Structure 1
Amino acid sequence: MEKHQILPKFIEKNLEKLGYTSLRATSPAPNTYCVELSPPRKVFIKCLSTTEESTKEVNFEADLYFANETIFYSQLLPHFHKLETTFHATINVPFSSVPVCLYSDSSCLILEDLFSDGYTPADINTPLNYTTTRVVLQQLARFHAYSIALHHYKPEIYQEITSKLKCIHNTTKIIFREGVNDALKLTKSSLPKNSIYIEKLSLFVFSVFQDYPPIDGVSENVVIHGDLWPNNILLKDNTDAKFVDFQGCRILSWVVDLISVILISLDKNTRDEYYSDLFECYRCAMCLKLEELNLNQKIIENTFNETNFSDKIKKDAKYALIPALAGLPLYLKPNQTLDLDIQPGVDPVLNYFRNLRAQKSMKCKNKMLEVIMHMVDYGYLDV
């Protein structure tokens, strides 16, 4: 049985503001709580710190990333719901891509407890099947569609809110650069010297960080999730999906989220067999939701006709490769405890990722090579 936790006082105060008192709390991970409330309700609480003290010294710029998530829930999500209210007469599928947020401030998020409602994280070791992937991509398209609609109807509000989202911070930039270079070393040590995969990846590594992240402001860019690996996709009976952990949300091409799901969450056989169909599933769900939100048909057609859709994927897919290669050593980390080599004066998280890369499993290496080959085979790394 999980040990009962005493909630920090500032969380109890926030619950009181909502008219609740806590009955029982467990802590599945640091600074997170599953709480049973009175009146009866179950919630999932995330906090930046378990005290009311300043969080300026939090490692890995955690305060900046937590700010992204609170901005998403407290400022952006309410406008998505306002759009839904405005166009309720034409909306057939209600917005349900993310958990319900009961409370959000700079130190605390109180969300509905999806786990108690039967949702479980997708498993990195069990690739999504075709049917479940369609469910995930339909939800992803609907999520992205609300960004496009808000940008169209309320451009000033959209700009004001999204300008607050932090993009890529210093530690993350280093992790991304080192992760991509580590993948290049792996490719060179695993494939023949004259391999097209080595050639294409080398050119990619040389050029991509000259404009990464790409300049914001393109009209079809959206608020992306930014970290769609399986643990951040919650599934229920393979018929519904929700996305959690929005610390990495930012303005970027919707292609990044789409390719991330297909690269990381599917095995090669499923991806190759249903590749075009899965893209079409996302495109159709996007067009349908934009129609429900009463966007001009010409706007929808100009952005998401089959030709422009395919061109956008080919242009922007490369940006999904960077977080994928950097993240795979974490997603597929060895089951055994890491033998940590602590480097004095080095950011603890940066040090952790360096140890992950140094001790990555064979499964991780194979997945990294598979992802690189896919990107090259489809022409996504043509510079």
Structure 2
Amino acid sequence: MTFDVNAIRAQFPVLHQEIDGKPLVYLDNAATTQKPQAVIDALIEYYTQYNSNVHRGAHQLADKATQRYENARSTVANFINAQHREEVIWTSGTTEAINLVANGVGQLFNAGDEIIVTELEHHANLVTWQQACKRSGAILKICPIFDSGELDMNAFDALLNEKTRLVAVPHVSNALGTVNPIKDIAKKAKQNGAWVLIDGAQGIAHGDVDVQAIGCDFYVFSGHKLFAPTGVGVLWGRKSLLETWPVWQTGGEMISDVEYQTATWGELPNRLEAGTPNIAGVIGLGAAVEWLSNLDIPALQAHERDLLAYASERVKEIKGMKIVGTAPEKIGVMSFQLQGAHPADIGFILDKQGVAIRTGDNCAQPLMKRLGLPGTARASFSIYNTRADIDRLFDALKKAQTMLA
């Protein structure tokens, strides 16, 4: 297969519009990706042809909905190389998935246990473990980074000890694009007897994710950053853990038997999926994974690397522009500052020129404080972006710099 970016772009309806009379350049992919027509069609088909609840009905619509819903589970399990399809647990997104783990295995923590996170964390993977520590008496340890945004692995090694129960780190930093050495982290943590959770929200859409090769215990991600609908995500966990930890959410489908005073829980995946799920979202996620799996992944990765390299080279043209986050291993995220310009002003001016980026702290306030910044402007690239998009970005930045001078 070859990678034809124009053929890819043609499949995303939202990209073919104008903003204030200018063609849209969408460079906010780390916040959410756009959706291909294949995913949109899957949602329309569900709602117009077989809308029904799953696992419950005694009619053909319910049977079809259940089949498509469970087929999506198998599709995702294959995509991440899960050993068992029932290890794929549907959630509303990465945040709920992390909370599900924190309120499951978190019940097994004791006072004095230690949890390691990093200075790179999104709030979802920081605040959740803060609260788990408050409930259990465990201690939260923070692995530092270098100014480049790269993890200090010597410091990580020093933090690991016999008290470490869990290591929870991002696959990729949403704010800086840093790709962390998650295989090495998992190996070292497991040697110390700790569980390992990888926040894959930013990593899942940019290349092969093989949970067996990573060696982690949990890998979590959101559908909406993988060309799928919002409101759906995945918790993958090792079956031996998922089927034994205390349940957190209770309700309908997750039970085995109920009396007025007692209840027992069902088998995986039901025991961790309480309530009516986001059926359309799950089916849309399955469609997104099928669509992505049919692309040439190595060529896709090469295209994204080219975009980041091209953008990084063009930075040299703008005096006073500084990239924030220069780790040697990065994906297509370019956070930056313009001397004398507030990120919010940059974002406003770029929007008027049809260029969509993110500004602010990127839900990583402690990281911004660590770097001594109020926030950044962030351009993030996906498979449907082109060098022409980056040219438009830099033309807009030059105009913004002139207006803000």
Give the TM-score band, short-chain normalised. under 0.3
Normalized per residue, the structure richer in strand is 2
Normalized per residue, the structure richer in helix is 1
Give the alignment's TM-score, normalised by structure 1: 0.25
